[in-house]
């Protein structure tokens, strides 16, 4: 096995516009939240160091634009990703229906060695508005039908379950690396 000082892990967040991708990243990295909506243009990343299995790893978290539907990012952007986070909005059930398309697009572009084993984390966000997603059981079974997929319901606003979700992202990314 390769030995190195610190794992550097690439994570990509995908999902429809307005579901809270940027807000989740800001809550996780900066513990900040804003009610103001500013659509992301292109893609940008933040990093956070996190300990997994007593190892310090650096997560490089790429936030993307839901509006652009991956059009402008290109294959190079997705290559080398160690985990993909798929976000929907529990108050807008149609955004859950897009998860399949986002997952397929990721797999097509990133083209990891084993598509069925690639780690995804699905997040249903905005539980501060609606405590439980109507799509909870649909999403659970979608996740278990897809292999290596975990599911969390979070609030980027009050921080609920955000740490747990990204801890799992880090864990899965490290296993993938």
Where do contacts with Mg ion occur on this chain (CB under 5 A)? 21-22, 40
> How many residues at the interface with ligand GTP, by CB under 6 A?
24
- Count of other CB atoms within 10 angstroms of residue 95: 24
Verify binding: residue 136, ligand GTP, rule CB under 6 A: no
State yes or no: residue 20 binds ligand GTP (CB under 6 A).
yes
Task: Tell me how far CA of residue 77 lies from CA of 10, 20, 28, 121, 155, in angstroms.
Answer: 10, 21, 22, 19, 27
Count the neighbouring beta carbons within 10 Å of the beta carbon of residue 117. Answer: 11
Binding mask 26-45 for ligand GTP (x = CB under 6 A): --------xxxx-xx-----
Site mask, ligand GTP, residues 144-173, x = CB under 6 A? -----------xxx----------------
Q: Partners of 60 in the beta sheet?
A: 10, 47
CB atoms within 10 A of CB 41: 10
Decide whether 16 or 52 has the Cβ nearer to ligand GTP. 16
Neighbours of 4 (CB within 10 A): 8
What part of residues 56-115 is at the interface with ligand GTP (CB under 6 A)? Answer: 65-67
**Contacts to ligand GTP by CB under 6 A:** 15, 17-23, 34-37, 39-40, 65-67, 125-126, 128-129, 155-157
């Amino acid at each position: 096995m390769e030995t190195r000082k610190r794992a550097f892990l690439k994570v990509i967040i995908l999902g429809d516009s307005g579901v809270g991708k940027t807000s989740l990243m800001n809550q996780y990295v900066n513990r900040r939240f804003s009610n103001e909506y500013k659509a992301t243009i292109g893609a940008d990343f933040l990093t956070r160091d996190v300990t997994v299995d007593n190892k310090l790893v650096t997560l490089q978290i790429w936030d993307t634009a839901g509006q652009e539907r991956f059009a402008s990012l290109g294959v190079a952007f997705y290559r080398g990703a160690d985990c993909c986070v798929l976000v929907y909005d529990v108050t807008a059930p149609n955004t859950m229906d897009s998860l399949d398309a986002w997952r397929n697009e990721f797999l097509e572009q990133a083209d990891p060695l084993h598509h069925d084993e690639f780690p995804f984390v699905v997040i249903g966000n905005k539980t501060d508005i609606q405590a439980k997603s109507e799509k909870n059981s649909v999403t659970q079974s979608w996740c278990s039908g897809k292999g290596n997929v975990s599911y969390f319901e979070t609030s980027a606003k009050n921080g609920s379950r955000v740490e747990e979700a990204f801890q799992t992202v880090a864990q899965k990314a490290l296993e993938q690396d």
